[in-house]
Amino acid sequence: DRNVKYYEERARRSDENGNYALAALYKQLQLERNQLRIAAMQQLSDLI
């Protein structure tokens, strides 16, 4: 998922720049996106 990679990269850059609050936000967004993706795949699997 491109968005997950985007959030991962932004979190890394924010950490490197010392912007830890922003890094935490990107990490949270990445986690939420992963959870949504897993839920969607589970629903798809249930339909098959």
- Note the pLDDT of residue 3: 86
Each domain of the chain, given as residue ranges in start order, spans 2-46
pTM to 2 decimal places: 0.81
Q: Is 4's pLDDT higher than 90?
A: no
- List the structure tokens of 15: 């950490």
Residues 6-43: tens digit of each pLDDT: 999 999 999 999 999 999 999 999 999 999 999 999 99
With the C-alpha atoms ordered 19, 15, 34, 2, is the resulting torsion angle positive or negative?
positive
